[in-house]
Chain A
């Protein structure tokens, strides 16, 4: 069973998530701010951290900055925010995925398992942001391997944005679920490593058409 730490400044929300997850995962710790999160995660060393984007003390991104690489845990960002710079910022900070807080219990359990295996989890909205961020042809690619999405990756993202689950995407594109996961992980890597000038800020600006 996956060991999980919940980081969110709303006690009510943590309680709700715990109830929804039920017996599917083992919640080994909870934290309500950045300081607490860092010490709880260091002590508990969970498989997955459910990390709120907005936290007192610097936000989820600060937790990632202080822990990323020093603990074996993987991070899944959870947010009510729709702001592109928040979402992309936390993913570039090292989170392996982003889901909105309206996600259902079973979907969240599924996302936790996926992240624990080292795969990436994209919500439809994050897929939309990424497509937007990589869509521009007016920005020259410095590193074409990192700065552009392949046709296949684009198709996978588009289907995620249309509300398809991985299994449905696999069926639609006549590929295996594993291949879908590989494509999504590859997109995540590009999103995290691409040095395109201020990717996130630019993505936000693009939405201000």
Chain B
């Protein structure tokens, strides 16, 4: 039972190896080398390189540099050292395209923070509100970062709670300034500085949050699509492939091949196009099912057209049995290439026509004791308060017309 395409099989196994062993599918095994990444850099790519190396978001690294700069000016020095010592990535042949909006935003944050600590001389007093605000921002960042990585694990409610918590901290931080600084003039300066910071943060975060949102959306659609694909694949496997196998085995018997193909076609059609309805309860579905059974038994295609529909009752059940008898007769004796069945519900009047263009017969020549037409069709309809009209003549084909009123 070795698969025919063994080469393909082996390759698949090889491909599967790293993901099953690694535990973090889609990610390379070790962290990338520390190198500058001028592609997509704001200045020289130091932060991008560091972020990639440490495996954290570049926004976090950049924010850290901004904070270091504001606090002591150390950030600038560290950045210079990295710029000089760390080589640029080898594969980055593309020229650096600076994102000026982002750069401006980081600048705004830096200036705003500097204004807070030095310009207004509030450094010490503003420390706690700053820390609170910073923690709030950090939580927001961290939450979004995790959201991207484990978007299907973190429940929605939790994310909302965290967002609220982060927002509360940010607002609390701002509130802290206002509360501590009674002097309205100073408070205004602080507020302006804070606004600048928040604007900067918003500008940094917006494209990223938008991208995250789009990712989520795309993923959801993809998941729905793949579920549909799986269902389709399962269905095709169970029915279509099975039938194709049977057809190959019966290739010598054209009648059987046709029967199999028709039967499969009907099943597939019903699955694709017909509304899911229960053949035990509605008229149109019941006719289709009956026709399918007769088609399967006798190998003659039966075309069914239904107009209107209604719930089944006892009388309609009898009419359906008569219709089945008519279909069987047509399929067995008419020698026609196909049989047409038309069912119609109009108000409480129900009519079924079963027609073939076969050889027809002489109705009067049928002996009284033959059950088929007289008992199973005409007699059954009359017993249930309906009627059956059989139109036929040798060579003219046959049409059986069944009429009955709904109970």
B134 to chain A, nearest CB (A): 54
- What bracket does the count of chain B residues touching chain A fall in? 20 to 34
Interface centre among A83, A127, A162, A208, by most B CB within 10 Å? A162
Q: Which of B259-314 contact A (CB under 8 A)?
A: 269, 272-275, 277, 282, 284, 303, 305-310
B342 lies within 8 A of A124 (CB): yes
A163 lies within 8 A of B275 (CB): no
Among B274, B277, B303, B306, contact of A163 (Cβ-Cβ < 8 Å): B303
A158 at the interface (CB under 8 A from B): yes
Q: Which of B323-382 contact A (CB under 8 A)?
A: 340, 342, 344, 346, 353, 355
A6 to chain B, nearest CB (A): 22
B341 to chain A, nearest CB (A): 8
A131 at the interface (CB under 8 A from B): yes
**Chain B residues with CB under 8 A of A83:** 273
A1 at the interface (CB under 8 A from B): no
Task: Write the chain B residue with the least CB distance to A82.
Answer: B273
Complex-state Cα separation, A158 to B344, whole angstroms:
9
Q: Which of A16-35 contact B (CB under 8 A)?
A: none
A128 at the interface (CB under 8 A from B): yes
Contact with A along B372-398 (1 / 0, CB 8 A): 000000000000000000000000000
Contact with B along A96-117 (1 / 0, CB 8 A): 0000000000000000000000
A172 to chain B, nearest CB (A): 10
Contact with B along A170-209 (1 / 0, CB 8 A): 0000000000000000000000000000000000000111
Complex-state Cα separation, A203 to B272, whole angstroms:
17
28 chain-A/chain-B pairs, Cβ below 8 angstroms: A81-B273, A82-B272, A82-B273, A82-B274, A124-B303, A124-B305, A124-B342, A127-B305, A128-B305, A128-B307, A128-B342, A132-B308, A135-B308, A135-B346, A158-B344, A161-B342, A162-B305, A162-B340, A162-B342, A162-B353, A163-B303, A163-B342, A163-B355, A164-B355, A208-B277, A209-B282, A209-B284, A209-B310
Chain A residues near B (Cβ < 8 Å): 81-83, 124-125, 127-128, 131-132, 135, 158, 161-164, 207-209
